Structure 1
Amino acid sequence: MTIKDPLADAGMKMEEKTWKENCPICLSPFTDKKSLNCKHEFCNLCLQQAKESNGPICPVCRKVFGIIQGDQPDGRMTWTRSSGQVPGFSNCGIITITYSIPNGTQTEKHPKPGHWYTGTTRMAYLPDNKEGNEVLKLLKKAFDQKLIFTIGASRTTGYENQVTWNDIHHKTSLYGGPDSYGYPDPTYLSRVREELKAKGIE
């Protein structure tokens, strides 16, 4: 039989009570307490500072509580539908997305304000089925919130001041599997939805 230590039990309850009464960012008693939809609470100033640093993401559970706006330069996203088949998806056509970001000058949001950056034109592919069209709508929402691209060093060329992908993976080839950023890849659509969800796009 296990004998409970009442002092240890009381200590744990006191620690839990202290945790609930203190802001998890500054670890001090709450000042102007702010509660999020996820039920986590913070000092209003602490939350504002965290939001400025990391965007509207709960510092405890990482749930997005607002609209994340990225630093993607201005551009266009268009798409077409065609016959054919995406490997791994039968009885549906192909959605071809075209992203066009022209050259321009970096703003204060970018790594080198006032410097020139090189734009890009990229194509990506989705199956033209129910889930593919749902992902297309989510990608359009992410594009409108300037989350698909950013400015930085190209992973392929190493050149700086380039428009590059920004952690939302795309299939830039119809073939070759995951190693070639292509199909077949049976878990791709669910994975990209999770990446979008992490940025508040759902």
Structure 2
Amino acid sequence: MVLTRFQTSKTSSQDEEGIHEDDNCPICMDKFTNKKQLKCKHEFCEECLEQAVSSMGPICPVCKDVFGPIEGDQPDGKMSWKSVRYSLPGFPDYGTIEIDYNIPSGIQMEKHPNPGRTYSGISRTAYLPDNKEGNDVLCLLKKAFDQKLIFTIGMSRTTGLDDQVIWNDIHHKTSTGGGPENVGYPDPNYLSRVREELKAKGIK
């Protein structure tokens, strides 16, 4: 995406003496240097924006709008899925999509928390209703997986062990029943929530 220059002109000496807040970069809080404007209309110094993108990815530092593809640090692995006949609680008229993730153990790279150290892999199964909305979410999850956003490496909340492959803030239903407290169904708002989580990472 091309970032365009946005130019302004001062209309009075008062403006020159007291710079308007909009004439300051929200990152460095100083006058703009090579001002760049994003599609969300927020503006930054070119160097400040480049540093923000380097650390956060293509996300506006002010409003968090995503202006380019985000790639995570998920280790290499496989994602597969299949349709099965049984229904999930809350979706009695539909079958179920079973999603299988397999991330083998390996060595951490420079982008990971502890480069050169080993990490423990993971195998997980998640579930979606086999209806239109469920298949739409499946397509979004596949896109997120391809952009390495589903998993990351860190400390397991379950075991407390470090250097583990863990979920990366895109919630999955890993149980077919038991409700939200057991990471399962029924949960009538789950599909809309996970779409919002995906949208926050630029997946839509």
- What amino acid does structure 1 have at the position aligned with 2:131? N
What is the aligned partner in structure 2 of residue 162 from structure 1?
Answer: 164
Q: 2:11 matched to which residue of 1?
A: none
Q: Which runs of 5+ in 2 are unaligned?
A: 1-14
Q: Pick the aligned partner of 2:37 from 35, 38, 54.
A: 35
- SS of the aligned residue for 2:20 comes to helix
Q: Match of 1:148, as an amino acid? A: I
Deviation, structure 1 residue 17 = 6.5
2:3 maps to none
Could you tell me which residue of structure 2 aligns to residue 121 of structure 1?
123
Cα offset, 1:90, TM superposition: 2.5
Structure 1 equivalent of residue 88 of structure 2 = 86
User: Could you tell me how far 1:197 is from its partner in structure 2?
Assistant: 0.5
Structure 2 residue identity aligned to 1:171: K
How many residue pairs get matched? 190
Q: Which runs of 4+ in 1 moved over 2 A?
A: none
TM-score (norm 1): 0.91
Q: CA offsets per residue over residues 53-100 of structure 1, 9 Å max, x none?
A: 211110111101111110000000000001110110121110000000
- Aligned letter for 2:72? G
Amino acid at match of 2:190: Y
TM-score by length of structure 2 reads 0.90
One-letter identity of the residue aligned with 2:146:
D
Identify the residue that residue 153 of structure 2 maps to in structure 1. 151
Question: Using the alignment, how far apart are the partners of 1:26 and 1:119 within structure 2?
Answer: 40
Any unmatched runs of 5+ in structure 1? 1-12
